[in-house]
Amino acid sequence: MSTVIPEGTWTSDKTHSTFGFSARHLVVATYRGTLLDFDATVVGNPDGSCQLDAAARVASVSTTDENLTGHLLAPDFFDAQRFPEVRYHATEISRDGDHLIVSGQLSLKGVTKDIVLHGEIAGPTVGFEDREILGITLEGTIDRTEFGITWNATLPTGGLVLGHEVKLVANLELARA
């Protein structure tokens, strides 16, 4: 096992980081969206422990269709008016080579659940302006119905319009603060 996160505070670069989600649509396809406004901070402590905290503003949800974006902001889905943020707090981070396992709690639409994310870490390296840069990619899957996101419809031939499983993907470029 190597050091989990290099010592220091690392903050996400909004220009070069993304947070996306995807779900099965009409049984045969995958639909994707993003939350454009989010922050992530990773802290590597001198004792080898570390923390990861992230928050995304629900109002920044983006899809390729403005009607769908509006529906995602409504009470059927994110209910942005009542629940303006999605939050994640890591309770344990372990590393085996470049592979990360991050256990934490996801808070979405007023519900908090444990979720394990898997991913990779790259770096650190030195980027422009002599800033140290660290890359982290994390993925996990949730059952949206466990967070009160239950809207659906049955297709004429059976099956559901929208799958229950939602894949979450964060691609983070973090700079040492």
Looking up residue 110, the CATH number of its domain turns out to be 2.40.128.110
Number of compact structural domains in the chain: 1
Distance (Å, whole) CA 134 – CA 3: 13
In a domain, 14, yes or no: yes
Burial label for 19, CB within 10 Å (0-12, 13-18, 19+), is buried
Main-chain dihedrals φ then ψ at residue 3, nearest 5 degrees: -55, 135
Read off the pTM: 0.92
In a domain, 3, yes or no: no
User: Does 124 sit behind a cis peptide bond, omega within 30 degrees of 0 on the bond before it?
Assistant: yes
Task: Return the amino acid letter for 2.
Answer: S
In a domain, 52, yes or no: yes
pLDDT tens digits, the chain, 177 residues: what are they? 356 889 999 999 999 999 999 999 998 999 999 999 999 999 999 998 899 999 999 999 999 989 999 999 999 999 999 999 999 999 899 988 889 999 999 999 999 999 999 999 999 999 888 999 999 999 999 999 999 999 999 999 999 999 999 999 999 999 999
User: Residue 153 belongs to what domain range?
Assistant: 8-176
In a domain, 1, yes or no: no
